Structure 1
């Protein structure tokens, strides 16, 4: 399938290339049609300022969803001008989440952004059948990451949502990541299913999952990318390590997507890269009919901006070609 956007050409690992940094996502997000984004229950200063900054950066057209009086009071107290934003009244967090999901499910919103409500409340509303947002796949988190030490972008999944995914859930996680990769411009994504070793071992379930997912891709149960596993991390991202280990694979050494074995592995890798290796990140939740910004209190302003930008790019790709959801198993 041809990607709706131009393919990103990666540099070799270890070279710090400016065009691989995530700063250029902002320009790409601006060039996309501004995504009408439901900002759900923005009753914290971080949530409201995050929406304002994304709007000022011309990445989103915000629709604030929550108690109108409380939102306006928070804005007034902090000198945040929201006079140009549409505000949709909802009594509480559950009502705001349900209303936002239904607006997105009926095509009135192109993306959703979590405000100050609990993540479980937010995602529960999105997954309700009557919201119209379900695709048949589970929701999963994709992080586009750039680390100066590595020198090229890579997608990590799932570091946030799915705790101990089984084989079928990992199939959805792979498929969501492939859709995300296509939407941001990676035409032929290479997906590495990560384990501690690169050989199948009966006492290590993640290696069995990796081998099964690779075979599922061979048989057309995962489409749009190359999938291989199990691969340990060094063999997945370093060509020399793959050669040393005598791994013959079109994915090994050049992976675009890393599929973590579980949330502990994914979350640790994500936070190690950001907080110890100076990496940049842009986060997006996939698996619904619209992309979702799932903000965290620990997110830096930069990560929030990059996440809004990449979500705008994904939303624009889906609007230009809605069949992309069906083509990737939606």
Structure 2
């Protein structure tokens, strides 16, 4: 069995779909160029390289990759590249945006701009789709990259974005654990009160499509034995496939702990905008980069199907 069997399934599903047209913002180093070209070679995406043409050509030449088949949209610098990538989506020429060799903040500023950005009524949030060795399911962790200290209103959208992602990844059930340091509601620990509120909001239909439970500590969210010891009876406890963290710091630490201590891989995606945003890191493995593109392709496919139903 592959060390990345959960990613292999996602990549295989995405390869069966039409290639996703992706605007790659400022791909001016080897990591960004290779990431886009490897996904293209596998049949996942059709990259549109957006940035200073001379720098893109030089980066491709330095790492020996052929970009002759790629469309290049010239933009003088990274800020302009981010804006141009977003514009391609708004014009219907691209279905997703991918981070190249620019800062995440720079790209996201263009995405969330009120005028000319990709805002929707939904709060934008980040999800890691993590392939953890020896864990049966891919784990969605949110939000570990965008919303620093989300309030309850923001967490409603963060949870809904994650549930929608879970369905886009063709998981049969979205089991959402709202994480805290404990599994009981404690007035002195605000995250436990927000967890209880989110569960009641799900009961009342303010969050849809998933089973939401919390507060849950990490152990009894993902381990059936730990849930049994604590006598927690729930369809989520011990079986969660979505982990909603209290804040960005907790999410970042959780994701990196799994990556560096458990050899997990973390594909990154931003949701809640008019198109998925693929966030990759220079430290990402080839498999992780491909998985991030596969996740975006599946999200875009789910959006197309939803639009077809509505129309």
Query: How would you bin the TM-score normalised by the shorter chain?
Result: over 0.9
Q: 1:48 aligns with which of 33, 46, 49?
A: 33
Corresponding position of 1:238? 223
1:99 equivalent to 2:84? Answer yes
Which of the numbers 135, 139, 164 marks the counterpart of 1:154?
Answer: 139
Which one of 10, 27, 31 corresponds to residue 25 of structure 1? Answer: 10
Cα distance change of structure 1 residues 222 and 43 upon mapping to structure 2, 3 Å threshold = same
C-alpha separation in 1, matches of 2:172 and 2:10: 17
The answer for the alignment partner of 1:114 in structure 2 is 99
User: 1:17 touches 1:151 (CA, 8 Å); kept in 2?
Assistant: no
Distance (whole Å) between structure 2 residues aligned to residue 36 and residue 177 of structure 1? 23
Deviation (angstroms), 1:83:
0.6
- 1:315 deviates by 1.6
Match of 2:23 in 1: 38
2:55 aligned residue (58, 64, 70): 70
Check whether the contact 1:158–1:260 (CA below 8 A) recurs between aligned residues: yes
Residue range with higher mean Cα deviation, 303-312 or 72-81: 72-81
1:134 is matched with which residue?
119
Shift of residue 289 of structure 1? Answer: 1.6
Q: Distance in 2 between matches of 1:96 and 1:187?
A: 38
What's 1:12 paired with? none
* Cα drift, residue 272 of structure 1: 1.2
Q: Does the CA-based 8 Å contact 2:27-2:56 persist in structure 1?
A: yes
Q: Structure 1's 132 and 105: CA in aligned 2 closer, same or farther, altered over 3 A?
A: farther
Could you state the TM-score of these two structures normalised by the residue count of structure 2?
Answer: 0.94
Number of the residue aligned with 1:5: none
Q: 2:74 aligns with which of 83, 89, 103?
A: 89
The 5 Å alignment of 1:1-330 reads 20-131=5-116, 133-322=118-307
TM-score by length of 1: 0.88
Structure 2 SS opposite 1:130: coil
Q: Tell whether the 8 Å contact from 1:195 to 1:231 is kept in structure 2 after alignment.
A: yes
Any unmatched runs of 5+ in structure 1? Answer: 1-15
Alpha-carbon spacing, 1:20–1:56, altered in 2? closer, same or farther (3 Å):
closer
* Structure 1 residues 153-195: Cα deviation after superposition (integer angstroms, max 9, x where no partner): 2211112221111111111110110111111112430111000
Once residues 78 and 280 of structure 1 are traced to their aligned partners in structure 2, the CA distance between those partners, rounded to angstroms, is 24
1:83-140 per-residue CA deviation (whole Å, 9 max, x = no partner) reads 1011111111111111111221232211110011111110011112333521212221
Deviations, residues 6-27 of structure 1 (Å, cap 9, x unaligned): xxxxxxxxxx997953222222
The aligned residue for residue 3 of structure 1 is none
Gaps of 5+ in 2: none
Cα distance in 2 between the residues matched to 1:178 and 1:283: 15
Contact persistence 2:128–2:140 (CA under 8 A): yes
CA RMSD of aligned residues (A): 1.9
C-alpha contact (below 8 Å) 2:10/2:169 kept by paired residues: no
Q: 1:261 to 1:323 in 2, by over 3 A?
A: farther
In the TM superposition, residue 208 of structure 1 has moved relative to its aligned partner by 0.8
Contact 1:153 1:256 in 2 (8 A): yes
Higher mean alpha-carbon deviation, 244-253 vs 30-39, is at 244-253
SS of the counterpart of 1:81? Answer: coil
In structure 2, the residue corresponding to 1:321 is in which secondary structure? Answer: helix
